[in-house]
Amino acid sequence: MKLEREFYQRDGLTVARELIGKKLVTNLPEGLTSGIIVETEAYMGAIDAAAHSYRGKTERTKIFYGVGGFVYVYLIYGMHICTNVVANVENIPEAILIRALQPVDGVDLMRLRRGKKNLRELCSGPGKLSKALGITKNFYGADLCDDEIFIESTDFRAEVTATKRINVDYAGEAANFLWRFVAVGNEFLSVK
């Protein structure tokens, strides 16, 4: 069952933790692809020096300031798309980076998009999973309550633990916040 808007309209830490075990789905003309979310990172706006919204509202971050349940995508290293879920209510700029998925549906299409055969390599990182699911910069502002990209409930169960986020050493004390959530022992994590 597709998650409703209310799921996203809570604080980013709660949403980030509870996204573990949910299924991210893209339903595009070339096919449906999906994966179980096994790794997330919360970015908590004005209190988080690692968040894009830390310094306030810009053209790039305006999506953070709306209601939760929309997609925020951005390009890193000039080539990789990162897919984020906007959380909370209007004017509280929080988001969750989807860091890794366990592939479920459309694996052959994911392999084609990624040029990889190994199942473990398809979605074990934010840029990898975006490419595997066909997510491009055109998904900026997409509604997760629509039919092109959405998140569903599943029966997947795992122990969830919190760790430091990855590659945010520039963020001072925020680099030490335990705001990365993982399905313990899952083989598809981006970093063990």
Residue 78 lies in a domain: yes
Residue 188 lies in a domain: no
Mean pLDDT for 88-116 is 97
Report CA Rg, the chain.
15
Residue 34 lies in a domain: yes
- CA pair distance 182, 190, nearest whole angstrom: 10
Residue 31 lies in a domain: yes
Residue 60's pLDDT is 84
What pTM was estimated for this model as a whole?
A: 0.96
Residue 107 lies in a domain: yes
- The pLDDT of residue 76 is above 90: no
Residue 192 lies in a domain: no
Residue 190 lies in a domain: no
Residue 191 lies in a domain: no
Q: How far is CA 10 from the centre of its chain?
A: 16
For 105-129, what is each residue's pLDDT tens digit? 999 999 999 999 999 999 999 999 9
* Closest-CA residue to 100 (of 119, 123, 120): 123
Tell me which residue range forms the domain holding 150.
5-183
Structural domains in the chain (count)? 1
For 127-153, what is each residue's pLDDT tens digit? 999 999 999 999 999 999 999 999 999
CATH number at residue 85: 3.10.300.10
